[in-house]
Structure 1
Amino acid sequence: MSRPTLNDLTAFMAVATHRNFRRAADALGTAPSTLSHAMRALEDRLGVRLLNRTTRSVSPTEAGFQLLARLQPALASLDEALAGVASFRGQVAGTVRINAPRVAASLLVRDIVPLVAKRFPDVVVDIVVEGQLIDIVSAGFDVGVRLAGSIPRDMIAVPLGDPVSFLCVAAPEYLARFAAPETPDELANHRCIGHRMPSGKLYRWEFERAGQELVVEATGAIILDDEELMVDAAVSGLGIAYVAGPAAEAALKEGRLCQVLGAWTPAPEAVALYYPGHRAVPPAVRAFLDCVKVVGRVPS
């Protein structure tokens, strides 16, 4: 039996991780048909089926799972060894794939990526904006960003920026037509800008005051699934929006929005960047994390 090439094994790991030939091909920069032929050739060479294929899905067989479990740490060690050689040139290179919600992605682009570009010009930061909670390992990401309370316990978390408050905001023109609500219950008499979550459900607005917690099902004439659009809708006077503080920060400073129900604002929630703690951290990811920590030590 001839030994598979490193390219063969890398391709198998991409398919087994993404569970999809097209996504794996995109990650590798090749065609899905080429990747499919390569996997059949690898199985023929090894004399064992590694992947179960249907018209809609791909999943590893028992042998495929065993090979994947051994390949992941082995290839991570190989990447680390090659990066060690690169360090003699004084360079760190590679791609850091990040999954983050839009507000956190904006923070990364504004504060972190410029420092990475300055210190590590050969590191590519690939950010995918997504509101839905996913398994970053199986989806092929190196790093994720979420509210700290929603991060799996087997991940290593690194604080990112200041804790985030969720605010109710409305345009001055709207508040001139409709008296500002004094309690969350009064939102029933207002036009509220609904927030549809990635699951398809409407987000229920959360409030807190003196230990009292309230949850309100806010409804209105418009429902959106993007916080920037919610802010735009509120600025246009379409109603009251409930958004993360950073999303509304500029509009609040410029007077295009006003905060309402400030006394009912829930406690701020910490935001963190997270990554797997059970495998070697690639040099490019380590360089990115170092920049996150440096920015976190700089007074705002």
Structure 2
Amino acid sequence: MMRPSLTELTAFMAVATHRSFRRAADELGTAPSTLSHTVRALEERLGVRLLNRTTRSVSPTEAGLSLLDRLHKVMNSLDEALDATAAFRGNVAGRVRINAPRVTIAYLVREILPLMTERYPDVEVDLVADGRLIDIVSAGFDAGVRLMEAIPKDMVAVPFGKPVHFLCVASPAYLERAGEPLTPHDLTQHRCIGHRLPSGKLYKWEFERAGQELTVETGGTVVLDDEDLMIEAAASGLGIAYVVSWIAEPAIAAGQLTPVLTSWMHAPERMALYYPGHRSVPPPLRAFIDVVKSQPSA
């Protein structure tokens, strides 16, 4: 049996990942009919069906899923081998486009970009703030940043940085006036600063204690879509806010905010850079990944 070509394997990975010849064709810059012929030729060469096709859907067979999983690992190793030659052809240059929530971009600007500038001065980092979980491939991004649990399963995830904690915070003046909530259920008797998601829905506050998970729909007179403004509103005594810890820490240190319900807060989550594993990783993105991996995780 002749070994399949890299073109055939790349075509199969794109179709199997997107479960669509059209979307795979858009990504690879070819026609859906060309991809169909390429994948059919691969199946004939291997002597096994890799995709189930109907007029409305495409899905990998058991053999296809097995091959896809193995190819992801092989392609990642191949990308690393090719990227290792960068040191022999001069400085890495080019642009890398990253999609991430605004609060995460603040972290990248503070912790990642200084190292990128130092190590790879010829790489342009284009950061786009977007709270929606979008299709980064079709939107033209090289990678995205999200919490691990929100990353699509068909993406390669690179955890980095310290675990993300969430906090409930309020000003000392508010707590003196309204009292401190002892359980999440007490929040119904308090003013809470709502967090509107990019979808337009209000974020439901998540809590956990002794294995018991609890979600609370909070109400209040203030609803915001920016965590810095939530901190400002809470510090002004407008109510209790549910925010990422690193955003609240300066105001806590200054005595402007006090954490509440600390024993009920959800377990820390990891943040991760993610990117498609079925395509070649360009050198600027590989450079960004290397810097991300160098971040302490404790």
Match of 1:256 in 2: 256
* Cα distance between partner residues in 2 of 1:262 and 1:84: 46
Match of 1:280 in 2: 280
Does residue 1:204 correspond to 2:204, yes or no? yes
Contact residue 96 and residue 125 of structure 1 kept, 8 A: yes
Structure 1 partner of 2:233: 233
Q: 1:163 — aligned with what?
A: 163
Q: Helix, strand or coil: the match of 2:162?
A: coil
Cα distance, 1:281 vs. partner?
Answer: 0.5
For 1:183 and 1:264, the matched residues in 2 are separated by: 7
What does residue 11 of structure 1 align with?
A: none
For 2:30 and 2:111, locate their aligned partners in 1 and report how far apart those are by CA, in whole Å.
44
Could you say if the C-alpha distance between residues 289 and 86 of structure 1 is closer, same or farther in structure 2, counting changes exceeding 3 Å?
A: closer
**How far is the alpha carbon of 1:87 from its aligned partner?**
5.0
Give the paired residue count.
231
Cα distance in 2 for partners of 1:195, 1:206 equals: 13
| Map 1:99-248 → 2, pairs under 5 A | 99-248=99-248
What letter corresponds to residue 189 of structure 2 in structure 1? N
Write the distance in 2 (CA, Å) between the matches of 1:83 and 1:148.
25
- Which structure 1 residue ranges, 4+ long, deviate > 4 Å from structure 2? 62-70, 82-89
TM-score (norm 1): 0.71
Post-superposition offset of 1:280:
0.6
Aligned-residue CA RMSD in angstroms? 2.7
What is the SS of the residue equivalent to 1:162?
strand
Give 1:261 deviation, angstroms.
0.6
Q: Which residue of 2 aligns with 1:271?
A: 271
Normalized against structure 2, the TM-score is what? 0.71
d(CA) in 2 for partners of 1:86 and 1:214? 49
C-alpha contact (below 8 Å) 2:165/2:267 kept by paired residues: yes
Measure how far apart 1:103 and its partner are: 2.0
Instruction: Check whether the contact 2:171–2:235 (CA below 8 A) recurs between aligned residues.
Output: yes
Q: State the alpha-carbon separation in 2 of the partners of residues 185 and 88 from structure 1.
A: 61
Query: How many Å apart are 1:265 and its aligned residue?
Result: 0.7
String of CA shifts for 1:102-135, please: whole Å, max 9, x gaps: 2211111111111110111110011001111111
1:141 alignment partner AA:
F
Paired residue secondary structure (1:139)? coil
Deviations 1:221-244 (A, max 9, x none): 110111111111111111000111
User: Contact conserved, 2:83 with 2:286, CA < 8 A, in 1?
Assistant: no
Structure 2 counterpart of 1:20:
none
Equivalent residue number for residue 98 of structure 2: 98
Q: Is the 8 A contact 2:162 2:270 kept in 1?
A: yes
Distance across 1 between alignment mates of 2:273 and 2:142:
10
Query: Is the partner of 1:112 in helix, strand or coil?
Result: helix
Measure, in 2, the Cα distance between the counterparts of 1:64 and 1:239. 55
Once the 2 structures are TM-superposed, how far is the Cα of residue 84 of structure 1 from its aligned partner? 9.2
SS at match of 1:128: strand
Task: Quote how far apart the aligned CAs of 1:218 are.
Answer: 0.5
Q: State the distance in 1 between where 2:270 and 2:85 align.
A: 37
Q: Is 2:228–2:247's contact at 8 Å kept on the other side of the alignment?
A: yes
Asked if the contact 1:83/1:92 (under 8 Å) is kept, the reply is: no
Equivalences for 1:80-95 in 2 at 5 Å? 88=88, 90-95=90-95
Call closer, same or farther: CA 1:68–1:247 in 2, change over 3 Å: farther
- SS at structure 2 position matched to 1:200: coil
The runs of 5 or more residues in structure 1 that have no matched partner are 1-49, 51-58, 71-79
1:89 is displaced (CA, Å) by 5.1
Percent of aligned pairs with the same amino acid: 60
Structure 1 residues 244-283: Cα deviation after superposition (integer angstroms, max 9, x where no partner): 1122121112221110011111111111111111011000
**Structure 1 segment 36-47 matched on structure 2, within 5 A:** none
Give, in angstroms, the shift of residue 177 of structure 1: 1.1
